[in-house]
């Protein structure tokens, strides 16, 4: 835990390690920023600190146009915590409040709406509605500055209930009208649109900068994605260092296709290069309302909200892991965009998964090259495979007996999975890491010391990449 004086020192040194971990606001300007903001450091007595952007917005501060604090990586704390607050933050990021309201969020967590409001406000300085509103504002800015969608369409695609609510929120958060936000797009693209200049080609998709903190071992992530890729749903093309990962996405309102580049880009400021950077990606959606959910699922797949400083500090202190951490600082533990995919690969292998995709997956209305199908839905797999562990898991996911969404209770999910016929501990360990994002899983039979807690999932990644452990954990 950092006290406010320590936070101020991080601001004064423009320390990018803390981007997304906290925000600071300046009372004399009414603006809030990320810790690494390149602007002149404000005087200590004018600074206030907030745990979330939503809390800063709720106190009347608007986002800095220079450092874009709404675009920082998510806090690693909320993504690894297994308690109700951590689960709630992950569900809100996935768009649950926009789709189901606070009542739906509370029902998924097993609490009353009042309890959820109280817990989130106490720890994050904002309740679920405010957190969802801040997220909608960010989605709106991305759509305004990267697409030519009409402003009215963007309002509803971002999750706002009305155009008036959309206009008011954008003005409050960015101190600009939606038209002004669009005109201020980086590189002059928005200005050109505002003057009736060149427009992006139809169907070009939404360009994304998927931000991360600290070092990022993209090569290891893309190696794993290439090894596991299920044809028809995924593909990895190109040569190491410049590969592109493409895949289809089944989303709440429609479908999507994403292409992410292996080559990472550092963040450069007037004071030099700061820790962190981003992956370039491009997203094609049949319904723009799915943008927020699609982005969050991609962030989980690439493990972009991890805190590599905390992970490397703990694991690098161990004599066995120290040389591995030194060789690959910032190694990530990839997740999944669909809870069934890791289970299917674990149970029937990649070849078996590809056969199930051809037999049970929905064919895209507009196939794109080798991407022709969506991964099968649980109900479709349950109908096609009524017997055996795969069918039992698919049926349990379809009827809600087992939940593997971002807000699922990890221990509860493990107990429910182990109660299914034929489900073994090794497969459950895979699901706990890949679909539930647990950073501290030891595969059955693997002798991992307690000193590697709470980052044993990352330790396993280091051992696997170094060839000291197989994918099955032996």
Q: Which two tokens stand for residue 4?
A: 């406010």
CA distance 247 to 375: 10
- CB of 287 closer than 8 Å to CB of 148: no
360 is catalytic: no
Residue 372 CA to its chain's centroid (Å):
25
Catalytic residue among 3, 5, 387, 447: 447
CA distance 409 to 411: 6
For residue 335, the 8-state DSSP code is -
Q: Which two tokens stand for residue 99?
A: 């789709």
Nearest to 72, CA basis, from 25, 37, 29: 37
Q: b/e for 144-179, b at 16 or more Cβ within 10 A?
A: bbbbeeebeebbebbbbeeeeebbebbebbbebebe
CA distance 221 to 229: 12
First to last CA, the chain: 36
Q: b/e for 335-366, b at 16 or more Cβ within 10 A?
A: bbbbbbbbbbbbbbeeeebbebbeebbeebee
Alpha-helical segments (H) within 336-384: 340-360, 378-384
CA distances from 254 to 251, 284, 286, 287 (A): 5, 11, 6, 6
CA distance 106 to 382: 28
CA distance 378 to 433: 20
Nearest to 62, CA basis, from 26, 8, 86, 111: 26
| Residues with Cβ within 8 Å of residue 22, at least 6 apart in sequence | 2, 7, 35, 49, 50, 51
Is the C-alpha dihedral spanning 374, 354, 464, 430 positive or negative?
positive
CA distance 469 to 288: 41
Catalytic residue among 19, 33, 98, 438: 33
- CB of 159 closer than 8 Å to CB of 95: yes
- CB of 291 closer than 8 Å to CB of 432: no
For residue 22, the 8-state DSSP code is B
447 is catalytic: yes
At residue 130's C-alpha, the angle toward residues 126 and 132, to 5°, is 120
Q: Which two tokens stand for residue 378?
A: 């649980």
Instruction: List residues with catalytic annotation.
Output: 33, 447
């Amino acid at each position: 835990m950092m006290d406010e004086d320590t936070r101020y020192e991080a601001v004064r040194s423009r320390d990018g390690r803390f981007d997304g971990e906290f925000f600071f606001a300046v009372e004399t300007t009414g603006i809030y920023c990320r810790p690494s903001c390149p602007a002149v450091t404000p005087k200590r007595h004018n600074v206030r600190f907030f745990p979330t952007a939503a809390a800063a917005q709720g106190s009347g501060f608007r986002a800095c146009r220079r450092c874009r604090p709404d675009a920082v990586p998510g806090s690693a704390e909320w993504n690894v915590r297994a308690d109700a607050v951590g689960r709630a933050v992950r569900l809100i990021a996935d768009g649950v409040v926009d789709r189901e309201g606070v009542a739906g969020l509370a029902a998924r967590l097993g609490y009353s709406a009042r309890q959820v409001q109280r817990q989130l406000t106490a720890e994050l300085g904002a309740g679920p509605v405010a957190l969802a509103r801040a997220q909608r504002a960010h989605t709106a800015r991305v759509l305004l500055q990267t697409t030519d969608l009409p402003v009215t369409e963007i309002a509803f695609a971002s999750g706002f209930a009305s155009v008036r609510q959309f206009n008011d929120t954008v003005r409050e958060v960015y101190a600009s009208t939606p038209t002004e936000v669009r005109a201020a797009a980086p590189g002059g693209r928005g200005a050109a649109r505002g003057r009736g200049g060149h427009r992006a080609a139809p169907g070009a998709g939404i360009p994304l900068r998927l931000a991360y903190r600290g070092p990022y071992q993209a090569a290891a992530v893309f190696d794993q994605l290439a090894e596991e890729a299920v044809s028809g749903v995924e593909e990895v093309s190109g040569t190491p260092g410049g590969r592109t990962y493409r895949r289809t996405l089944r989303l709440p309102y429609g479908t999507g296709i994403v292409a992410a580049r292996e080559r990472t880009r550092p963040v450069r400021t007037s004071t030099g290069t700061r820790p962190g950077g981003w992956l370039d990606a491009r997203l094609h959606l049949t319904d723009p309302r799915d943008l927020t959910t699609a982005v969050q699922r991609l962030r989980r797949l690439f493990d972009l909200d991890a805190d590599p400083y905390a992970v490397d500090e703990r694991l690098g202190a161990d004599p066995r892991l120290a040389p591995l951490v030194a060789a690959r600082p910032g190694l990530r533990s990839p997740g999944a965009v669909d809870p069934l995919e890791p289970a299917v690969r674990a149970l029937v292998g990649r070849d078996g998964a590809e056969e199930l995709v051809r037999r049970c997956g929905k064919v895209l209305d507009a196939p794109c090259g080798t991407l022709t199908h969506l991964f099968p839905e649980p109900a479709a797999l349950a109908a096609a495979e009524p017997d055996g562990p795969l069918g039992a898991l698919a049926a349990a996911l379809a009827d809600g007996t087992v939940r593997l969404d971002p807000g699922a209770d990890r221990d509860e999910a493990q107990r429910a999975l182990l109660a299914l016929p034929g489900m073994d501990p090794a497969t459950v360990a895979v699901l706990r890491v890949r679909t539930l994002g647990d950073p501290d899983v030891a595969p059955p039979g693997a002798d991992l010391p307690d000193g590697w807690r709470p980052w044993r999932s990352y330790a396993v990644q280091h051992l696997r990449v170094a060839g000291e452990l197989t994918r099955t954990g032996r």
